[in-house]
Chain A
């Protein structure tokens, strides 16, 4: 099943498609290399669609790598309940439009970001948000942490089974936690 094809069959990108993250270590290295990373988390991280919500793993990743989290949709309260304060909460289109803007000074006033990690937004919507960044945010690399291949990101996992994907996330969190 590990192929670099869009999960929703018709969501075909153009000539430039995401590189496949071959193994979690590569993403960990990317995160460690980034000077200004951001993690954008959508509402699927708190849903029981298949398996369990994965907000706890996202919090582990964010804490371990010291990445500011932007909670999209209505899920900020779920972070707060777990004792984690996101850097901001705002709609997915709002954070993406800011990431598009090279002159945006970021959530902390220290400048634009160089790596945006997306996860947990409905596939078709995240696909479009990543497309908006691919075209209009050339200052930015994007990564999808989702289970399914996102061709409009700079980097994405290939389509994975639930079990493999969970293992990927666990490995990423664990590797980042090793200082």
Chain B
């Protein structure tokens, strides 16, 4: 057992401070004021303090903690609900088998943080109690008149992130074990994804959210009543991932950005809502297409009557007869039955009634446009909507269709139009044929990474010969549409990185075909190996990505991981070239997942909208004193270069992100061969995408053996110009206690 079982808020503070000393918080306030108590609003601009004494720096870190606890709270509460549900259904002693003989280290994050080895569902009880207690302490720190140091607030952010990762793991292990999802299976089946995959003549149950409990019951009810095939089950967001893990005949429509457009298409005959990332106006939109809504959890109740205790047929009757527009049903099996029966009865009544006008109406209504520009000013993407509307008024809707890929489907443009034009809806209408053609294949979430896979790649990852593990995760608030993610996945898989996907990013990766008509899940290996593209699954399945990094330390390096957080994070920071990319991150959940990565020593890149998290963790590569580590063999302090340079970074463009991914994969422990491979990728991408070679190569060359042979002349020239001095490759650690020489001396 390591030194920090069930660590409290301060237990890993020293580690956090080490990270934050090197990767300093960089704040970009989104608000100049604090309005969290009645003494405010307080103007905190440029050094002013609020009524409680807080300054803008501390306030920014406080808001970062607020985001992190919201995100962590979501995942932990999700896991709490799932755990209680599956314990009730399968019993507390149900074994946690998530990969049979292929998985011995079955809950690496839980082991690392809590020091326990869960074997049955009930073993997660004490883990969740720990998470909930810690989360309460963190929420308390947010109150006015509590923490006053931004660095300690940031340490709490990292604590929240670590808790979040444990929460993710609890939820996904519980559902993999009980629902029979693919168990660390590289051969997890391909499933259908896209706006055009649903058979339009069949009744459709649409599930939205992240908690699969009810969707599982829907599938079960269909199977038990021989209705599967007669009724379509499809999902949006992570419930979609998870329902396809349960049954690959279910379908994925797409990420959160598809919600509004798909509901308005009139396809769903009943909408089942669970939790997280559900558009708050889904119910309102459902009413417009004459579709009943079933809500299934306490998080989202929508002021609908609680019909949990009623007879299913009575609820169905009330929904179909429009006595109620929707119902709250907290019992998943009952909600599943009601959903299917309602869809079957509603389908012939609704006849796929949609809330999208025909093209004639689009043209006619566009003629009302006064070019006031309010739609564009409301658009997060600054899409040039007015010009497209103007063309539509002339009968040409192609410019509207051209906006489709860049639109994130938020609908803000429609709320501001003074003459009632509906730009988002018009864009969807103009793109109707394109939407119908959206039919792709995605590997359904395979869950954990096998121990044998880790054994095979552990050495080349740690030595640097596999240039990196790149995880594309998070939401769909993309600056220019989904294609960016698919292109980045393709780039790094082609370069023999290991690529992992999850959540909305996994979906977006699939929604693009290469010249052979294949998605990335068809074009590349599905194994966790160089050149593989691996979809682990939903948001909670992100735990397997962090878990894989931990398992490298455990399986390859034989480090003790139980309750040994600091040592393992130090190992990962210095040796495991892993990078997370949340290109469309929008959510607090994405932030808390990121925070868990930072504490574990894994850098995270977000897209330009990620700047709105208003806090980055940036290194300063030119400050040499920041880039020293101990050589565990000798105790010497050795310059290791800015590897990785940043912990949390927002990129302006896909090109910048691509180069930064390659750069952030470098680690102090890389062998010369490994570093040469990583430098080759970094330099090559930089030259191709920037048009010039990088200007900081000298910081990443430790000895001449690091220099890529094919680039020797140009790199040596740069080294000479920069007056480069040869260094050495240590056994790197930031922890004094890991220096072995002292033990030998003792």
B44-56 vs A, CB cutoff 8 Å, 1 = contact: the mask equals 1111000000001
Identify the stretch in A29-37, A60-68, A74-82, A170-178 within 8 Å (CB) of chain B at 4 or more residues: A74-82
Check A138/B47 contact, CB under 8 A, given A14-B32, A49-B384, A76-B691: yes
Nearest CB of A to B327, in Å: 35
Please give, as numbers and ranges, the residues of chain B lying within 8 Å of A75 by CB-CB distance: 690
B20-45 vs A, CB cutoff 8 Å, 1 = contact: the mask equals 00001011111111000000000111
Check A81/B28 contact, CB under 8 A, given A14-B33, A73-B653: no
- In B611-630, the 8 Å CB interface with A consists of 611-612, 614, 616, 618, 620
Check A16/B45 contact, CB under 8 A, given A8-B382, A74-B655, A121-B652: yes
* Nearest opposing residue in chain A for B47, CB measure: A138
Please give, as numbers and ranges, the residues of chain A lying within 8 Å of B660 by CB-CB distance: 91
A93 contacts B616, C-beta separation under 8 Å: yes
A130-164 vs B, CB cutoff 8 Å, 1 = contact: the mask equals 01101110100000000000000000000000000
Number of A-B residue pairs having CB atoms within 8 Å of each other in the complex: 129
State A13–B380 Cα separation when bound (angstroms): 17
Please give, as numbers and ranges, the residues of chain B lying within 8 Å of A13 by CB-CB distance: 32
B209 at the A interface (CB under 8 A): no
A74 contacts B659, C-beta separation under 8 Å: yes
A76 contacts B692, C-beta separation under 8 Å: yes
A14 contacts B26, C-beta separation under 8 Å: no
A166 at the B interface (CB under 8 A): no
Residue in A9, A77, A125 whose CB lies within 8 Å of B652: A125
Check A122/B31 contact, CB under 8 A, given A8-B377, A77-B692: no
Residue in B46, B608, B649 whose CB lies within 8 Å of A134: B46
State A81–B660 Cα separation when bound (angstroms): 23
B653 contacts A43, C-beta separation under 8 Å: yes
B616 contacts A14, C-beta separation under 8 Å: no
A15 contacts B620, C-beta separation under 8 Å: no
Identify the stretch in A19-27, A94-102, A111-119 within 8 Å (CB) of chain B at 4 or more residues: A94-102
A128 contacts B612, C-beta separation under 8 Å: yes
State A11–B479 Cα separation when bound (angstroms): 17
- In B415-436, the 8 Å CB interface with A consists of 416
B656 at the A interface (CB under 8 A): yes
* Nearest opposing residue in chain A for B387, CB measure: A50
- In B339-374, the 8 Å CB interface with A consists of 373-374
B140 at the A interface (CB under 8 A): no
Please give, as numbers and ranges, the residues of chain A lying within 8 Å of B12 by CB-CB distance: none
B695 at the A interface (CB under 8 A): yes
B653 contacts A14, C-beta separation under 8 Å: no
B695 contacts A134, C-beta separation under 8 Å: no
B395-407 vs A, CB cutoff 8 Å, 1 = contact: the mask equals 0000000000000
A7 at the B interface (CB under 8 A): yes
Please give, as numbers and ranges, the residues of chain A lying within 8 Å of B24 by CB-CB distance: 97
B678 at the A interface (CB under 8 A): no
Please give, as numbers and ranges, the residues of chain A lying within 8 Å of B616 by CB-CB distance: 93, 97
Chain B binding site: helix, strand, loop or mixed by DSSP?
Answer: mixed
Check A74/B608 contact, CB under 8 A, given A14-B33, A128-B30: no
Check A125/B32 contact, CB under 8 A, given A74-B659, A132-B26: no
A169 at the B interface (CB under 8 A): no
- In B628-655, the 8 Å CB interface with A consists of 649-653, 655
A129 at the B interface (CB under 8 A): yes
B557 at the A interface (CB under 8 A): no
State A130–B271 Cα separation when bound (angstroms): 43
Check A134/B692 contact, CB under 8 A, given A8-B377, A74-B656, A128-B611: no
B141 at the A interface (CB under 8 A): no
Residue in B27, B44, B374, B479 whose CB lies within 8 Å of A122: B479
Residue in A9, A42, A88, A121 whose CB lies within 8 Å of B377: A9
Please give, as numbers and ranges, the residues of chain B lying within 8 Å of A98 by CB-CB distance: 620
State A97–B620 Cα separation when bound (angstroms): 9
Nearest CB of B to A113, in Å: 16
State A94–B618 Cα separation when bound (angstroms): 8
Please give, as numbers and ranges, the residues of chain B lying within 8 Å of A128 by CB-CB distance: 28-30, 611-612, 614
B652 contacts A134, C-beta separation under 8 Å: no
Please give, as numbers and ranges, the residues of chain A lying within 8 Å of B698 by CB-CB distance: none
B403-414 vs A, CB cutoff 8 Å, 1 = contact: the mask equals 000000000000
B689 at the A interface (CB under 8 A): yes
State A131–B614 Cα separation when bound (angstroms): 10
Nearest CB of B to A86, in Å: 10
B689 contacts A125, C-beta separation under 8 Å: no
Check A74/B609 contact, CB under 8 A, given A14-B43, A16-B32, A93-B618: no
B735 at the A interface (CB under 8 A): no
B46 contacts A80, C-beta separation under 8 Å: no
State A49–B24 Cα separation when bound (angstroms): 35
B690 contacts A135, C-beta separation under 8 Å: no
B457 at the A interface (CB under 8 A): no
- In B544-586, the 8 Å CB interface with A consists of none
B77 at the A interface (CB under 8 A): no
B382 contacts A122, C-beta separation under 8 Å: yes
State A9–B608 Cα separation when bound (angstroms): 18
Please give, as numbers and ranges, the residues of chain B lying within 8 Å of A100 by CB-CB distance: 26
Please give, as numbers and ranges, the residues of chain A lying within 8 Å of B47 by CB-CB distance: 135, 138
Check A135/B382 contact, CB under 8 A, given A93-B616, A124-B612: no
* Nearest opposing residue in chain B for A92, CB measure: B652
State A172–B680 Cα separation when bound (angstroms): 42
B378 at the A interface (CB under 8 A): yes
A91 contacts B29, C-beta separation under 8 Å: no
State A128–B608 Cα separation when bound (angstroms): 11
Residue of A7, A8, A97, A129 with most partner-chain B CB within 10 A: A97
Residue in A1, A74, A97, A131 whose CB lies within 8 Å of B690: A74
Nearest CB of B to A80, in Å: 6
* Nearest opposing residue in chain B for A134, CB measure: B46
Please give, as numbers and ranges, the residues of chain A lying within 8 Å of B30 by CB-CB distance: 128, 131
Nearest CB of A to B416, in Å: 7
Please give, as numbers and ranges, the residues of chain B lying within 8 Å of A131 by CB-CB distance: 28-30, 32
Partner-B contacts on A (CB < 8 A): 1, 7-10, 13-16, 42-43, 49-50, 72-78, 80-81, 88-89, 91-94, 96-98, 100, 121-125, 128-129, 131-132, 134-136, 138
- Known contacts A9-B416, A50-B384, A122-B652; 13 additional CB pairs below 8 A are A14-B31, A14-B45, A15-B45, A43-B653, A49-B384, A73-B656, A91-B656, A92-B652, A93-B649, A96-B28, A97-B26, A122-B608, A131-B29
5 residue pairs of the A-B complex, CB under 8 angstroms, read: A7-B377, A15-B45, A93-B649, A125-B650, A136-B56
